Amino acid sequence: MPAMATAAKPETTEGAQPRHQAPEVFRYYELAKKQEWQVGDMPWNDLPPIPESKGGEEKHARRRDVWRSVITQQLQADSLAVEMAAQLLELARHHDAKLYYSTMAQDEARHVEAWLRLIDAAGGPTERDPHLDKLAQIFLGLDELEEKVFLMQVFFEKMIISRFRLIARSSRGTVLEDLCNRLTIDDGIHHGSGMAYERVLLREASKKTKDKMIKGAQKMLPIFADHVLWRPKEREFVSSTMRSRDLARVRREIEEGVRIAASLGLDVSDIEYTIP
Ligand SMILES: [Fe+2]
Ligand SMILES: [Fe+2]
Ligand nearest to the CA of 108: 1
In the reported structure, the alpha carbon of residue 140 is separated from the centroid of ligand 2 by a whole-number distance in angstroms of: 15
Scored b (16 or more CB within 10 A) or e, 112-148 reads bebbbbbbeebeebbeebebbeebbebbeebebbbbb
Report the pLDDT value the prediction gives residue 19, as an integer from 0 to 100. 57
Ligand nearest to the CA of 104: 2
pLDDT tens string, the chain, 276 residues long: the values are 444 444 444 444 444 445 578 999 999 999 999 999 999 999 999 999 999 887 788 888 888 998 999 999 999 999 999 999 999 999 999 999 999 999 999 999 999 999 999 999 999 999 999 999 999 999 999 989 999 999 998 888 988 898 899 999 999 999 999 999 999 999 999 999 999 999 999 999 999 999 989 888 888 888 888 888 887 776 776 667 777 888 888 888 888 888 888 899 887 777 655 555
In the reported structure, the alpha carbon of residue 22 is separated from the centroid of ligand 1 by a whole-number distance in angstroms of: 23
* Predicted TM-score of the model (pTM): 0.87
Report the pLDDT value the prediction gives residue 4, as an integer from 0 to 100. 47
Question: SS in 3 state form for the chain?
Answer: CCHHHHHCCCCCCCCCCCCCCCHHHHHHHHHHHHHCCCHHHCCCCCCCCCCCCCCCHHHHHHHHHHHHHHHHHHHHHHHHHHHHHHHHHHHCCCHHHHHHHHHHHHHHHHHHHHHHHHHHHHCCCCCCCHHHHHHHHHHHHCCCHHHHHHHHHHHHHHHHHHHHHHHHHCCCCCHHHHHHHHHHHHHHHHHHHHHHHHHHHHCCCCHHHHHHHHHHHHHHHHHHHHHHHCCCHHHCCCCHHHHHHHHHHHHHHHHHHHHHHHHCCCCCCCCCCCCC
Beta-carbon contacts of 212 under 8 Å, excluding residues fewer than 6 positions away, are: 144, 146, 147
In the reported structure, the alpha carbon of residue 54 is separated from the centroid of ligand 2 by a whole-number distance in angstroms of: 34
Asked if residues 88 and 16 have their Cβ atoms less than 8 Å apart, the reply is no
Report the pLDDT value the prediction gives residue 218, as an integer from 0 to 100. 85
In the reported structure, the alpha carbon of residue 161 is separated from the centroid of ligand 1 by a whole-number distance in angstroms of: 10
Scored b (16 or more CB within 10 A) or e, 246-274 reads beeebeebbeebbebbeebebebeebebe
Report the pLDDT value the prediction gives residue 225, as an integer from 0 to 100. 86
Asked if residues 192 and 162 have their Cβ atoms less than 8 Å apart, the reply is no
Report the pLDDT value the prediction gives residue 16, as an integer from 0 to 100. 45
In the reported structure, the alpha carbon of residue 188 is separated from the centroid of ligand 1 by a whole-number distance in angstroms of: 10
Report the pLDDT value the prediction gives residue 15, as an integer from 0 to 100. 43
Residue 166's closest CA among 75, 276, 250? Answer: 250
Asked if residues 129 and 227 have their Cβ atoms less than 8 Å apart, the reply is yes
Note residues around ion ligand 1 (Cβ under 5 angstroms).
Answer: 78, 81, 108, 111
Residue 243's closest CA among 274, 275, 273? Answer: 275
d(CA 147, CA 91): 11
Report the pLDDT value the prediction gives residue 254, as an integer from 0 to 100. 84
Report the pLDDT value the prediction gives residue 14, as an integer from 0 to 100. 44
Report the pLDDT value the prediction gives residue 3, as an integer from 0 to 100. 46
Distances (CA, A) of 161 to 135, 164, 182, 276: 17, 5, 11, 22
d(CA 44, CA 41): 8
In the reported structure, the alpha carbon of residue 53 is separated from the centroid of ligand 2 by a whole-number distance in angstroms of: 30
